[in-house]
Amino acid sequence: MPRPSASYSAGNPQTTRAALSGFALVAVLLAVLVGLGAGPAPAGAATLEPCEATKPTGPTIDLEGQLSLTPVKATRKAWKRSGIRQKLVKPANNLTGRPTYPVKAVKYGAAARVDLKGAVKLTHKGRSVTVGGLSVVSAAGKPARLRAKLGGKQIDFLAVKGGKRVFKSETGELSRVGQARLSAKAAKLLNRRLRLTKRQRLKPRTAWGYFNLYSLYKVTEAEDPTVDVPEVPPVKAEPGGAKSIAAATAIKWYVRDSFINYVASGEGTRVADGATADPPAGSNNLVYSFNFPFASGWTRPEGVDGPEDTLVKGTGTVGFAYCEHGINFIVSNPEVEIGDDANSRLIFEVTGTDNSEIPTQRAVVTKLLPSQAESHSITDNGDGTTTVHYEKIPGVIPEASKGIFANFYQPDDPFGAFTLTFTYANGS
C-alpha cells in the first residue's frame, strides 16, 4: 500500500533502541498533538492515506546492550612498550570514559552470540590495522571469546576468563564480565601487520582490559492497539447578546516540545487548507507551533451577565505521521471555546488511520486555562471596535479525552498552549 501522497517534513532520527514499538503502543495517538519539521510544508488538499505498513503489527523486538573494554594497568603498559595507539571507529565510542561497542544483533542458544557495532583501529609508526566484525561467543561454564576480523580473517581475538556469566531466559538478558587477554593468533597477526620489533611485540595472553558485556534480546508478540474513541462534544450555543467577531489575527497552537521531538524520528508534519507552520526553532530546529485562518466566531464580553463567553472557529489542517509506529493523523478546523477555566477547551476535527484509527469526528483535544495565560489584554481601538488578546493559554488533558492518548497521559497533565487575538464591534 503506498505511503501518504502529501509531502512531509521530518527531522533527523535519533533513537537509543533498535525497536521502540513497546512505547509506540502507548503512543499510538500521541501524534494528534505532535508536530515537527525543517520548515513550513507546502499547503495542499487535506487527504489521509494509510502508511505502507498497516495492522496487524508484528512482534516487538527489544534489542540493546553494549560491551565495554576498560584498559587495566598491564594493558597500558603493554601498549606503551609497543608504541601502539588505538582509535575507536564509530559507532564505538568513549562517552562513558571507557571504549564501548553497542550491540548489533543477538542469538541465544547453547552458546550465545552477540554481534557488536564499531571497531578499533590500532596504529604504530604510520602502519595501522582495523579490528572489526566483532562478536562475542559465550557458553555457560566456558571462557567467553571475542571474535574479530583481522587481516581478512575471522579469528578469536580475545579470551575472557574469570568473572561471572549470568543469563536470564525469561527477560532475554545476558551479562558476562571478566579479564580479556589477547589470543596467540591475534598477537601474531598484530605483530606482523604493525611490524613490531622483538622488544615491542605483543605477547599471547597480553592483558587487554576488563570485559563487561550486557545484552538484551526479547521478542514479544504484538497485540493490535485499541483506540478509545472520545465522545463528540456538543456545539457551543451562542448566548443572547453575543457580538459577532469581525476578525481574528492570531489563532496559534503550540504543542508540547517533547512530543515534537519524539515524532521527529518519523515522517513529520504537513499543513494544508491554509494552515501554516511557524519557522523552525530551538536546539533541534523543529517546528513547534501552527497557525489557522479565521473562519467565524462570536463573543459575549465579561460583564453583568457573567464571565466571558467566546467561540472562535478556524480552518486549515495539520497532519502527523510516524509510520514506523503506526501513527497517521490529520487534525482540522479548530474550535476555541473561551469562558472560565471550567468551560474553556480546544476542539479539532480528527481523522486517523493505521494504528491511530479514529473516524472523522470532532473531539476535545485539551482543556484551556485562560486565567493562567501568560498575558491577557482588552483594548478599545477608538474606532468602535475592541481587540482581545490571550498569549499562550495553557492546555491540559481532560478526563474525557485521555483515550486520545491511549491513556498514556493522565487528566490535567499539561499539554501545549494556545494564543488567540480577535476583534469585535462595540455596538449592541
Concatenated DSSP letters of 258-271: HHHHHHTTSSEEEE
Contact 182, 205 (CB under 8 A): yes
pLDDT the model gives residue 267 = 81
Residue 204's contacts (CB-CB under 8 Å, 6 or more residues apart) are 182, 183, 184, 187
Give the end of a domain, one of 172, 203, 220: 220
Cα 218 from Cα 21, distance rounded (Å): 12
Residues 107 and 28 in one domain: no
**Which pLDDT score, from 0 to 100, does residue 355 have?**
63
CA dist., res. 316 & res. 270, Å (int): 11
Residues 242 and 346 in one domain: yes
- Write out the DSSP string of 119-144: EEEEEETTEEEEEEEEEEEEETTS-E
Q: What is the pLDDT of residue 268?
A: 79
Rounded to 5°, angle at Cα 284 from 64 and 37: 100
Number of H helices, E strands in the chain: 4, 23
Q: Are residues 42 and 189 in the same domain?
A: no
- H helix or E strand, kind and range, residue 343: none
Residue ending a domain, among 180, 199, 220, is: 220
- Fill in the amino acid letter for 366: T
Q: Do 340 and 250 have their domain in common?
A: yes
Q: Give me the pLDDT at residue 17, please.
A: 34
3-state secondary structure of 317: strand
358 vs 349: CA distance, rounded Å: 10
Whole-Å CA distances, 94 to 98, 129, 206: 5, 19, 22
**pTM beyond 0.85:** no
Spatial separation of the C-alpha atoms in residues 29 and 406, rounded to whole Å: 6
Query: CA separation (Å) from 409 to 20, 152, 400, 403, 405?
Result: 18, 53, 12, 9, 6
Range of the domain at 174: 61-220
Residue 391's pLDDT is: 98
How many distinct structural domains can be found in the chain?
2
At 69 the three-state DSSP class reads strand
Helix, strand, coil in percent for the chain, rounding step 5: 15, 50, 40
The phi, psi pair for 38, rounded to 5°, reads -80, -10
pLDDT string in tens for the chain (428-residue length): 333 333 344 333 333 333 333 333 333 333 333 333 433 333 344 677 777 654 555 677 889 999 999 888 888 888 888 899 999 999 999 988 899 999 999 999 999 999 999 999 999 999 999 999 999 999 999 999 999 998 788 999 999 999 999 999 999 999 999 999 999 999 999 999 999 998 899 999 999 999 999 999 988 876 665 667 778 999 999 998 899 999 988 999 998 888 778 777 888 788 899 999 999 999 999 998 999 999 999 999 988 678 899 999 999 998 877 778 777 778 899 999 999 999 999 999 988 776 667 778 899 989 999 999 999 999 999 999 999 999 999 999 888 777 666 566 688 999 999 999 999 999 86
Task: Supply the pLDDT for residue 32.
Answer: 37
Assess whether 214 and 288 both reside in one domain.
no
308 and 183 housed in the same domain:
no
The reply to whether 232 and 336 lie within a common domain is yes
Q: What is the pLDDT of residue 168?
A: 94
Quote the pLDDT of residue 14. Answer: 36
Residue 240 shares a structural domain with residue 294: yes
Q: Is the residue at 286 inside a domain?
A: yes
Q: What pLDDT is attached to residue 13?
A: 34
Give 186's contacts (C-beta < 8 A, 6+ positions apart): 148, 150, 155, 156, 157, 158
User: How confident is the model at residue 402, as a pLDDT?
Assistant: 72
Q: Looking at the structure, tell me whether residues 134 and 42 fall in a common domain.
A: no
pLDDT of residue 28: 35
Same domain for 307 and 332? Answer: yes
Flag whether 380 is in a domain: yes
Q: What is the Cα–Cα distance from 53 to 61, expressed in whole angstroms?
A: 17
Taking alpha carbons only, the member of 297, 348, 317, 283 closest to residue 48 is: 317
Same domain, 85 and 209: yes
Count how many residues are written for the chain. 428
Q: Quick check: 336 and 395 in contact, CB under 8 A?
A: no
